[in-house]
Amino acid sequence: MATMNPIPTDLELGPASKGRIGKAVELPILENFGLDSQIGPTFLGFWNILAYITGGIFTFIWLTVMAAQVSWNPVAFAKYFFVLQIDPPSSYYGLGFAPLEQGGWWLISTFFLTISILAWFMFLFTRARTLGIRPYLAYGFTGAILLYLVIYIIRPMWMADWSEAPPHGIKALLDWTNNVSVRYGNFYYNPFHMLSIFFLLGSTVLLAMHAGTIWALEKYAAHEEWDELQAPGTGTERAQLFWRWCMGFNANAYSIHLWAFWFAWLCGVTGAIGIFVSMPDFVNNWFQWGIEAGIVYPESPMPQP
């Protein structure tokens, strides 16, 4: 225990408390479910205020334009909420600015959404630095940011056509996802899509494995991971032995989080590559690509050698 620090008794003040607002509120019932009972205080600084404001502007434009589409009727708004959408400009306008009702609102709202996401990255980065921890959360966020930027900004700009970007709307986003797959010859044959799905499902498996392991070992305090990193105890030893006995290989309290980080990050990054190369300049038809790669089962089986 020589390397350990005692649990601080005063949880309200941490390091770098400047900019922190509110007081800690305790909700003991959360402890009944194994959740932390302390809510707040929180922090307000330049970057997260910017993220909240620009994200709020995006949400406001999105909801307001959709409400206008149903003549401000609240019942119709609720009824059609999932199918209302803001379309990007049609390909007629290229990368130029379109009239507000024909894609202009999409350009403006997407601008604010992008600023919000980038500001949130800056917030995560700077706050981690201020607190004296390393900014891995910001690093992990880059996977999701890259996927967002490729889909909404980079690929449409490369194709010189904002209409390639998804509209803002629930059903519209699902339809766009469906259509881009069909348009480029079925994304199931896109190897980067395959990798992205592999990392998506792999992340779910890793989360279930890790979360299940730690939940099963709470009574041995395996969930106190910072402490277990410095000085593994009986909880971590059991966790490691479980997987060693089950599959002949085990991570440790540190390396399981490295696996977690890379699986989740690569899900976004490989997905970004897969969607970027799906355009007439690069790969126009992934089914054709699969046939040429020789991984598609032939329509009429070849004679056996």
Partner 1 sequence: MSGTKAKDPRFPDFGFTVIDGARATRVPGGRTVEEMEPEYRIKGRTTFSSLFKYDPFDFWVGPLYVGFWGFVSVLGIIFGTYFYLYATVVRGPYALAQNFFAGRIDPPPAEIGLALASPGQPGYLWQMTVFFATMAFFGWFMRQVDISMKLNMGYHIAVAYGVVFSAWCTLQIIRPIAMGMWHEGFVLGVMPHLDWISNFGYRYNNFFYNPFHAIGICGLFGSTWLLACHGSLILSGAQYRGPEGGDIENIFFRDAIIYSIGESGIHRLGFIFACGGVLSANLCILLSGWIVDDWVSFWNFWNVLPWWSGV
- Using CB under 8 A as the binding rule, the residues of this chain from 115 to 134 that contact partner 1 are 123-124, 127-128, 131-134
Query: For partner 1, which residue of 43, 93, 112, 184 counts as binding (CB under 8 A)?
Result: 43
Smallest distance, partner 1 to C-beta of residue 92, A: 28
By CB under 8 A, tell whether 38 contacts partner 1.
yes
Q: What single letter denotes the amino acid at residue 132?
A: G
The answer to whether 278 and 180 are in contact (CB under 8 A) is yes
CA distance 4 to 146: 38
What stretch of H or E contains 234? helix 234-247
**20 touches partner 1 (CB under 8 A):** yes
Q: Does 280 bind partner 1 (CB under 8 A)?
A: no
Output 111 or 139, the one with its CB closest to partner 1: 139
What the block records as the tokens of 96 is 């130029």
Contact mark string toward partner 1, 209..248, x via CB under 8 A: xxxxxxxxxxxxx-xxxxxxxxxxxxxxxx-xxx-xxxxx
Of the pair 111, 259, the CB lying nearest partner 1 is at 259
Phi-psi region of 300 (alpha: psi -120 to 50; beta: other; left: phi over 0): beta
User: In this structure, is the dihedral angle defined by the CA atoms of residues 43, 44, 49 and 52, taken in order, positive or negative?
Assistant: positive
Q: Is 195 in the site for partner 1 (CB under 8 A)?
A: no
Name the residue nearer to partner 1 (CB basis): 75 or 281: 75
- Number of neighbours of residue 4 by Cβ within 10 angstroms: 10
Half-sphere exposure of 134 (CA within 13 A, CB side): 3
Q: What angle, 0 to 180 degrees and rounded to 10, lies between the N-to-C axes of helices 104-131 and 46-69? A: 160
Binding residues among 136-155 for partner 1 as defined by CB under 8 A = 136-137, 139-141, 143-144
> Around Cβ 205, how many Cβ atoms within 10 Å?
11
C-alpha–C-alpha distance, residues 197 and 210, integer Å: 19
Among 118, 260, 285, 288, binds partner 1 (CB under 8 A): 260
Tell me the site size for partner 1, rule CB under 8 A: 127
In this complex, which beta carbon is closest to partner 1, that of residue 65 or of residue 138?
138
Nearer to partner 1, 90 or 255 (CB): 255
Residue showing tokens 């891995």: 136
Q: Which of residues 46-75 bind partner 1 (CB under 8 A)?
A: 48, 73, 75
Closest CB to partner 1 among 43 and 276?
A: 43
Q: Which is nearer to partner 1, 61 or 209 (CB)?
A: 209
Q: Does residue 288 touch partner 1 according to CB under 8 A?
A: no
